């Protein structure tokens, strides 16, 4: 599966999120690639992804992309990322 | 090209504690001044970081008490680097769950992924409650830099 981590500029927050998302995917036994995108390219990148991880404000901006958009509050909390990813994909 | 280690991207001179900042703009300015003082950016980058918050909102407050101040690669970025501004008193960024902010990490990057291992490592370090407490409770730059270097060595061995 493909997980898309989205932030405003694609250089900071999403990279912080990427490491935790990779770890969460491993913990959940998923064969997943985590890619990062900035908000400008997120909707396009989401068309080939299975789930989006981002912040509350950016989730509102991304809107409906036909796949789960998971809102992460604490980007360095591995437990939160794993729990929310698990709920979103039903694993 | 090999990526510089975290302890090199965040030199001791780019770390300050007990920083006085009245609001989020001043807090970002403090992190930006450390980036400029250590040669990672010009002063123009401070305004670019302010503009990023104005454009996208306070989402850069990525964890309770922690803001990752940054903008895009630009002519104001001279090299990839990080800074650390521990605030004397917490300030509000207007974030719904993670305010108030006690620590501002400044990030300047020349490209999109030349700093990703260092930043992922910093995320792992800050996600460890014991280490984070030690870092946020530290009173001097030397102690913070030492803790980060030690963590880096422990992960590499």
**pLDDT by residue (tens digit) across B107-116?**
999 988 788 8
Domain ranges (residues) in chain A? 2-89
* CATH code for the structural domain at A2-89: 3.40.50.2300
Exposure of B84 by Cβ count < 10 A (0-12 exposed, 13-18 middle, 19+ buried)? buried
CA torsion sign, B139 to A77 to A22 to A36? Answer: negative
- In the predicted model, what is the mean pLDDT of chain B? 93
- Kindly state whether B139 is in contact with chain A, defined as any CB-CB distance less than 8 angstroms: no
Alpha-carbon distance A90 to B9, whole Å?
39
Q: Which residue of A has its CA nearest to B56?
A: A8
Q: Which one of B70, B95, B115, B145 is the catalytic residue?
A: B70
CA-based radius of gyration for chain A: 11
Contact: A13, B56; criterion CB under 8 Å: no
For residue B56, the chain A residues in CB contact (below 8 A) are 8-9, 39, 57-58
Q: What is the ipTM, given to two decimal places?
A: 0.84
**Which of left, alpha, beta for B111 (phi over 0: left; psi -120 to 50: alpha)?**
beta
Residue A42: pLDDT above 60?
A: yes
Query: 3-state DSSP helix/strand/coil percent for chain B, to nearest 5?
Result: 45, 20, 30
Residue A12: pLDDT above 90?
A: no
Domain ranges (residues) in chain B? 11-156
For B117-122, what is the mean pLDDT?
Answer: 88
DSSP B78: -
Give the best residue of B9, B51, B56 to mutate against chain A (max A CB count within 10 A). Answer: B56
Residue in this structure with the two tokens 């650390």, named with its chain if needed? B84
Phi/psi at A5 (nearest 5 deg)?
A: -100, 120
Contact: B64, A74; criterion CB under 8 Å: yes
The CATH architecture assigned to B11-156 reads 3-Layer(aba) Sandwich (3.40)
pLDDT for the residue numbered B83: 98
pLDDT for the residue numbered B1: 53
């Amino acid at each position: 599966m493909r997980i898309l981590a989205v932030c405003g500029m694609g250089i900071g927050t999403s990279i912080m999120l990427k490491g935790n998302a990779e770890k969460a995917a491993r913990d959940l036994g998923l064969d997943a690639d985590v890619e990062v995108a900035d908000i400008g390219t997120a909707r396009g990148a989401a068309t080939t992804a299975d789930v989006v991880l981002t912040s509350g404000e950016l989730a509102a901006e991304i809107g409906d992309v036909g796949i789960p958009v998971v809102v992460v509050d604490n980007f360095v909390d591995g437990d939160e990322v794993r729990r929310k990813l698990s709920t979103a994909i039903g694993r | 090209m090999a990526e510089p280690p975290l302890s090199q991207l965040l030199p001791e001179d780019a770390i300050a504690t007990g920083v006085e900042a009245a609001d989020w703009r001043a807090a970002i300015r403090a992190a930006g001044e450390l980036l400029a003082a250590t040669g990672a950016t010009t002063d123009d980058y401070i305004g670019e970081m302010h503009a990023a918050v104005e454009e996208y909102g306070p989402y850069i407050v990525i964890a309770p008490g922690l803001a990752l101040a940054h903008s895009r690669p630009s002519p104001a970025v001279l090299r990839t680097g990080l800074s650390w501004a521990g605030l004397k008193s917490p300030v509000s960024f207007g974030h719904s769950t993670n305010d108030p902010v006690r620590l501002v990490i400044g990030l300047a990057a020349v490209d999109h992924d030349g700093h990703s291992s260092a930043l992922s490592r910093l995320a792992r370090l800050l996600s460890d409650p014991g280490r984070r407490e030690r870092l946020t409770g530290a009173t001097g730059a030397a102690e913070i830099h030492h803790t980060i270097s030690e963590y880096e060595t422990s992960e590499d061995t």
